Structure formats: structure tokens, C-alpha cells
Amino acid sequence: MSATEADKPAENDSGLAAKNPAKRRRALLIVAAVFILAALIWLLLWLFVFSTREKTDNAYVGGNQVTISAQVPGTVVAIMADDTQRVEAGQVLVKLDPTDAQVRLAQARSALAQAVRGVRQQTSSATGADAQVAASKLQLAKLEADLKRHLPLLAAHAESPEIVQHLRDGVAQARAALNAAEAQAAAAHAAIEGTDLAENPTVLQARANFRAAWIAAERNAILAPVSGYVAQRSVQLGNSVQPGQQLMTVVPLHDLWIDANFKEGQLQHIRIGQPATVEADIYGGDVEYHGKVVGLGAGTGSAFSLLPAQNATGNWIKVVQRVPVRIALSNKELDKHPLRVGLSTTVTVDITDDHGRVLAQAPAQQPVAQTDVYDRMMGKAEQEARRVIQANLPRAAK
């Protein structure tokens, strides 16, 4: 083997030794650049994305659950709506046996008519008493005139004292009769004075009783106070129900909200009025709802639980608490993509602007929920009472 061939392995070994450090440095630089780039991307994401929002998947759809119950006792004879069906405000949901209520209504109608006729009779009696007073005054004036004519004759001894005394007695009797007639007239007017027939206290009492009987009869038809969908129907035909007993529930799905339960560490920058986006699990990421924060709960869920936690014990473990944050939704979006009460959602709140208020500063000026179904019932009862009164007025007064 020549000297040249003996030197080749040494050259190859030195070449590899020279190249490996350069490759390692290049690899380390690439790895370092990747880590630096990832850190920079994470920093930018934190500054412009993650630090400007709070997100939770502990969020559920909330809504009003209107309990339908009877207002009067009775036996169920018809059920007009079932679970999942839509009902409109004022629609009849359940009918009770109306027999007893109709009997009481007929009695109240008769009592109101009798009250009107009784006041009419009192008015006529007062008019007759006034006529009697007028007649008594005329009689008294006539007797006084006769006595005045006979007194000069008595002085001239042209009239006997017995006749004059008889005339004086007649005047006294006439004056007493006038006083009695005036007292009787005053008593007759006391029952009707100051009001017309429809506003007479006797008529008003009978009118109130009639309205109560009419409303009680109408309440045998149990109405839906709001529009929505029926759930939890428990009433059955033939059930004997009592006032306040739950029969079914109506859930209005038009006005819903989200109760997002954020951890206490996430609440630092959440304020009323901040915009929020909501994704419901039922639609996945295909549908996004847009709402806003309308309020934060007054306490944690554990504070309002049936059995609040007792933290003043020997064995204590800190548990991160959550506070419900209410998110209002757009009714237009709900109409397009309906939700159901209790569905799971993911809520993201934009906290870029955190200068708003954490708590409401003024009470609400508008009712949270309102219905006029029962106002209509009172109006109809009043109209029916007027018809009964009108039917019993004198012909000339109708």
C-alpha cells in the first residue's frame, strides 16, 4: 500500500468532522428560529385575539317557562293543546265543567236586575214623597188662610171660639203632616241622592258580584297568557283541579337568552353592553348568533344552591367559582335559527372596551314580561254587566 492510499481515510475523517459542526449549527438555528417564530405568533395572538375576549362553553339557552294553572276549582272536560304544539296568547288550553259557575252567574244576573229595579222603585217612592210634601204644604197653607180669615171675626164676636179652635187644631195637624212628609221624602232621597241609577251603591254591589261570577264562569276556560309552545303537560280528562295546580307549561321561544357561566378569574374585564358571539351545539359552527351582555349575576351558583357550600370546615379545598353572565340574543336570528331552552352553547365576549359598568345603575322602566289576556276578560265582564243594567232600565231611559 502506497503512502497516498494510506492518507485517504484520514482526509475523509477530517472532512466529516469539519462538516458536522456546520450542519449542527444550521439545525440549531432553524430550530431556534422556529421557536422564536412560534413565540412571536403566540404573542401576537395573545395581544390581538386572546387578550380581547373571554370564552366559555359552560353556557346554556335560557327562557321563560310560563306555568299554566287553574284559577278556579273544577273538573277537566277538554284539553285543547298538547306537548310540542304552538299556542297563541288568549287561546283556550283546558276547559273545566261550567255547570256550577253558570248557576252562580244566573243568580248574580238576577240579583243585578233586581237591584236595578229596586233602585227604580226607590226613585219612584222618592218622587211620590216629594208629591206628598207638596200636597201637605198646600193643605197647611189652606188651613192657615182659613184661620187668618176667622181670627178677625172672633175678635168682633162674630165667630164662636170653638170654630176658631178647631181651625187652629187643623193647622197644627197639617204642619205635623208636612213635617212627617218631609222626613219621609228625605229618607227616600237618602237611598238615591247624589248618584244616577247605574252608580247607586246597591247597583254597584250587585254589579261587582255579577262581574265576579262572570269572570269565575269564564275562568273555566283556561287561557294561554303568552304565545309559545306547550311542554310538560300533566293534566288529564276528568282530573279535579284546584287553583294554583300546574297543568302544563308554555315556553315562548321568541325571547330567549344565554346564561354563560364564566370563571371568577374571567370576570375582571366583562362589562354590560359588550358584544358577544354564540355558537349552539345543535347547529355546530354553521350558525353564529350575535348578542350583548345585559347583566352579571348577583352571586355564584353555589351561593344560591339548595344546600350552599360550608367552607368553614377543617377539610377545605378551593373550588373555582362561576358567575352567570346573561347574553341577550337577536329575535331575528332566533326566528331564522330557532333554539330550545337548555341547549348547550359556546359564548365569546369581546372585552376590548372594558369601560362599561359591571352592575346596572337604575331599575328597569319596562316590564320584563306582560300580558293583556286577563284585562280583556275584565272588559268583557263590564260590558255584560252594562247590558244587564240597560235591559232593566225604564223604556224611556234606554
Residue range 149-185, pLDDT digits in tens: 666 665 666 566 777 677 777 778 878 877 877 787 7
**Rounded distance, CA 53 to CA 344, Å?**
20
Domains of the chain by start residue, with CATH = 100-217+376-397 (1.10.287), 256-307+318-362 (2.40.30.170)
Phi, psi of 104 (to 5 degrees): -65, -35
pLDDT of residue 46: 65
pLDDT tens sequence across 107-145: 999 999 999 888 787 777 767 767 877 887 787 777 777
pLDDT surpasses 90 at 93: yes
Q: Which percentage of the chain shows pLDDT scores above 90? A: 44
pLDDT tens sequence across 35-83: 888 888 887 776 666 667 889 999 999 999 999 999 999 999 999 999 9
pLDDT surpasses 90 at 87: yes
Cell matching residue 102: 253558570
Please state the pTM of the whole predicted model: 0.72
pLDDT surpasses 90 at 186: no
Q: Which percentage of the chain shows pLDDT scores above 70? A: 86
Which band of pLDDT confidence, cut at 50, 70 and 90, is reported for residue 17?
low
| CB-based burial label for 360 (10 Å; 0-12, 13-18, 19+) | exposed
pLDDT surpasses 50 at 252: yes
> Which is nearest to 50 in space by CA: 276, 389, 348, 340?
348
Q: What kind and span of H or E run contains 154?
A: helix 99-155
